[in-house]
């Protein structure tokens, strides 16, 4: 007895493997949980629809074999009424089920998109700086949209199709076991050949979709780069690029259509071959009184329905297999650990006064070489410190470390003698104002762009901030003043105007610490003077660390740190460094020559 039981263990293990749900599949299904009621109604509706669909062929058998020969008109009309009511109920339930299915699809997809969006925020700047924007957008759009098909079609309808097929096969066996055996070769034909074309068709559809995205990108580039193309007389070059992308898209599209055609051809061929065999065998059985005409008609209806459902099931399994590849990408992304993590017991950062200590830090970017080596810097509350040096020496990296876009591999950064990695990140960033070299403005009103610094600010505070940033005058000259919509990335404004709006944000935010990353390097002399006046107002009483490109803007700073090869090699005031005859003096001479246009 025990020996017989042990012989079943391999079979038991194989069953476990068959029904084992992968972590990715479990993760996908978990998005149904908040909508379990809707899912239950969807499946219940599917069961009712299946029950009606399965009963119709059997009802037709009864009509042909019993009601029609009896010539009982009362039973005839009762039969018609019952069938009509059943079909009407089925249609109503199908409409409701489609609405529920659409709702499930949209709600689950929205939840995934929101979770992907939240994960982007958790991973932070360190992730974005190493990831193409297109790939990030792909997660939010293309990959998630692909999963919508799972939530509406594959999972719920797969269950419905399997139940229908199982119930129909039971009826088919009860009608004629012989005919049921005869239909198996046609099913095997599709099972052996069909998945090959199913896979090619599904992959082809995805490839065509991706190529459409690339083609749209090329079309977009073609439109926005039109002035540049004409200025360089590059119409022929641009035309070739456009036609190449169009040809790639059309080729993939035609390939997809061909694979879809072949898939349909194989499916229809298996239907017809099996149908012909069933009809020939069925007629023979009817002639020998082994099968009634009604049973023959019912079996044929079951046959075509089952073949349709089973080939659909094979299609769904193929699509699901390919879909899992996309789902694994999202699942892997959702399980990525951020490089910068919040402390388990963060310290309140609201009381930070502005003292900063950088002690012997070493830092390198992921998969990169060391940028900073044993770097140390002390900044007292209210001091203004400038970082200068050649490009690639780690100046901007220092600012990124201070705002915790990254963490150093060695050493410590302290704010008011509290380790930076112990402070609550959201509160830390509330205390810091970061002005980038290139300001990002949203495609909304001027007012909303300033309120970005403090959404709770009043209208009066917005205007005061704009005036302090020397932005009020040009804002009032815009078509609708503070209500002027700036367009994508603020393209309607000059570089200097963008920077002054950015500075207005800082005024309205009123941070304790200001970080400036070459805020005036991309501006002309006139714009630089206007922005510098705004900065002078902003920096009063603030702890300031500036990455400087133009040395004329930092002569009055308390400290100037010269960075070379990731280390501070000179430190002092402007006067101290100019008298030391070191790197700073050389940078200053080069800066003056550049400003005069000599170099």
Domain total of the chain: 2
146 and 199 belong to one structural domain: no
Q: Which domain does 165 fall in, by range?
A: 22-175
Confidence (pLDDT) at 356 = 92
Picking from 107, 108, 90, the residue whose alpha carbon sits closest to that of residue 46 is 90
- In the block, which residue shows the tokens 């699509």? 319
pTM given for the model: 0.72
Query: Residues 462-466: contacts with CB within 8 Å, 24+ apart?
Result: 462/504, 462/508, 464/507, 465/504, 465/505, 465/507, 465/508, 466/501, 466/504
> Does residue 267 lie within any of the structural domains?
yes
> Does residue 443 lie within any of the structural domains?
no
102 and 30 belong to one structural domain: yes
267 and 164 belong to one structural domain: no
137 and 189 belong to one structural domain: no
68 and 184 belong to one structural domain: no
101 and 229 belong to one structural domain: no
Tokens of 479: 């078509």
Domain C-terminal end among 175, 190, 222: 175
β 513-517/432-435 pair status: parallel
The rounded distance, in Å, linking the Cα atoms of 565 and 397 is: 13
- Rounded mean pLDDT for each run of 10 residues along the chain, 599 residues in total: 38 40 80 88 88 88 83 80 90 91 84 85 77 65 71 73 86 90 80 72 73 71 73 76 80 80 77 85 89 90 86 76 77 84 83 90 83 90 90 87 90 91 88 82 88 90 88 89 80 80 87 82 60 77 85 84 89 86 76 50
The rounded distance, in Å, linking the Cα atoms of 437 and 25 is: 44
Q: What interhelical angle do 235-287 and 293-334 show, nearest 10? A: 150
Neighbours of 208 (CB within 10 A): 20
Domain C-terminal end among 108, 140, 175: 175
Look at residue 469 and give its three-state secondary structure. coil
> Does residue 252 lie within any of the structural domains?
yes
Confidence (pLDDT) at 11 = 35
Tokens of 233: 């007389």
The rounded distance, in Å, linking the Cα atoms of 564 and 495 is: 29
150 and 197 belong to one structural domain: no
Confidence (pLDDT) at 476 = 92
323 bridge partner residues: none
Domain C-terminal end among 175, 203, 230: 175
80 and 162 belong to one structural domain: yes
110 and 60 belong to one structural domain: yes
CATH of the domain at 146: 1.20.1560.10
CB-CB contact of 468 with 504 (8 Å): yes
The rounded distance, in Å, linking the Cα atoms of 529 and 585 is: 23
Confidence (pLDDT) at 193 = 75
In 489-597, at which residue ranges do the beta strands (DSSP E only) sit? 513-517, 543-547, 559-564, 567-572
Confidence (pLDDT) at 360 = 92
Contacts of residue 265, defined as CB under 8 A and 6 or more positions apart, other chains included, come to: none
Picking from 26, 298, 333, the residue whose alpha carbon sits closest to that of residue 176 is 298
The rounded distance, in Å, linking the Cα atoms of 505 and 503 is: 5
Task: Supply the DSSP string of 89-151, one letter for each residue.
Answer: HHHHHHHHHHHHHHHHHHHHHHHHHHHHHHHHHHHHHHHHTTS-HHHHHHIIIIIHHHHHHII
């Amino acid at each position: 007895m025990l020996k017989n039981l042990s012989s079943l263990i391999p079979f038991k293990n194989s069953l476990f493997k068959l029904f084992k749900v992968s972590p990715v599949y479990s993760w996908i299904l978990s998005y149904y949980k908040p909508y379990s009621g809707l899912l239950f109604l969807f499946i219940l509706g599917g069961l009712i629809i299946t029950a009606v669909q399965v009963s119709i062929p059997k009802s037709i058998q009864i009509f042909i074999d019993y009601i029609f020969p009896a010539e009982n008109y009362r039973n005839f009309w009762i039969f018609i009424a019952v069938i009509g009511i059943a079909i009407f109920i089925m249609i109503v339930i199908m409409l409701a089920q489609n609405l529920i299915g659409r709702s499930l699809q949209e709600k689950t997809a929205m939840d995934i998109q929101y979770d992907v969006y939240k994960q982007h925020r958790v991973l932070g700047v360190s992730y974005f700086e190493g990831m193409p924007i297109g790939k990030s957008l792909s997660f939010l759009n293309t990959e998630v949209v692909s999963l919508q098909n799972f939530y509406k079609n594959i999972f719920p309808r797969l269950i419905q199709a399997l139940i229908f097929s199982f119930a129909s096969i039971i009826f088919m066996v009860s009608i004629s076991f012989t005919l049921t055996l005869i239909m198996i070769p046609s099913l095997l034909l599709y099972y052996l050949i069909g998945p090959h074309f199913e896979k090619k068709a599904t992959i082809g559809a995805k490839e065509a979709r991706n190529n459409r995205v690339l083609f749209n990108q090329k079309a977009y580039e073609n439109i926005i780069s039109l002035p540049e193309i004409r200025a360089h007389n590059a119409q022929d070059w641009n035309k070739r690029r456009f036609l190449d992308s169009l040809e790639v898209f059309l080729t993939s599209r035609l390939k997809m259509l061909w694979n879809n055609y072949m898939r349909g051809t194989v499916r229809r061929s298996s239907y017809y071959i099996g149908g012909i065999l069933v009809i020939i065998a069925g007629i023979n059985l009817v002639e020998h009184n082994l099968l009634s005409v009604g049973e023959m008609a019912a079996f044929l209806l079951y046959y075509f329905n089952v073949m349709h459902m089973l080939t659909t099931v094979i299609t769904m399994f193929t699509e699901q297999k390919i879909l899992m590849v996309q789902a694994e990408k999202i699942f892997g992304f959702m399980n990525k650990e951020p490089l910068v993590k919040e402390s388990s017991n963060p310290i309140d950062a609201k009381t930070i006064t502005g003292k900063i200590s950088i002690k012997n830090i070493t830092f390198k970017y992921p998969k990169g070489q060391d940028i900073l080596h044993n770097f140390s810097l002390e900044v007292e509350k209210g001091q203004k410190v400038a970082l200068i040096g050649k490009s690639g020496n780690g100046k901007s990296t220092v600012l990124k470390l201070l705002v915790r876009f990254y963490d150093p591999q060695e050493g410590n950064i302290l704010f008011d003698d509290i380790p930076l990695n112990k402070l609550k990140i959201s509160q830390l960033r509330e205390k810091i104002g970061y002005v980038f070299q290139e300001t990002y403005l949203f495609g909304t009103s001027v007012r909303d762009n300033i309120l970005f610094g403090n959404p709770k600010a009043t209208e009066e505070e917005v205007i005061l901030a704009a005036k302090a940033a020397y932005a009020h005058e040009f804002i009032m000259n815009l078509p609708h003043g503070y209500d002027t919509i700036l367009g994508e990335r603020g393209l309607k404004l000059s570089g200097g105007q963008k920077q002054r709006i950015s500075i207005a944000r800082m005024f309205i935010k009123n941070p304790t610490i200001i970080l400036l990353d070459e805020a005036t390097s991309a501006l002309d002399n006139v714009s630089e003077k206007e922005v510098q006046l705004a900065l002078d107002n902003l920096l009063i009483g603030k702890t300031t660390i500036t990455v400087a490109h133009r040395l004329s803007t930092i002569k009055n700073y308390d400290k100037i740190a010269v960075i070379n090869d990731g280390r501070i090699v000179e430190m002092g005031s402007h006067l101290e460094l100019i008298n030391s005859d070191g790197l700073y003096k050389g940078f200053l001479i080069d800066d003056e020559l550049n400003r005069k246009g000599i170099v």
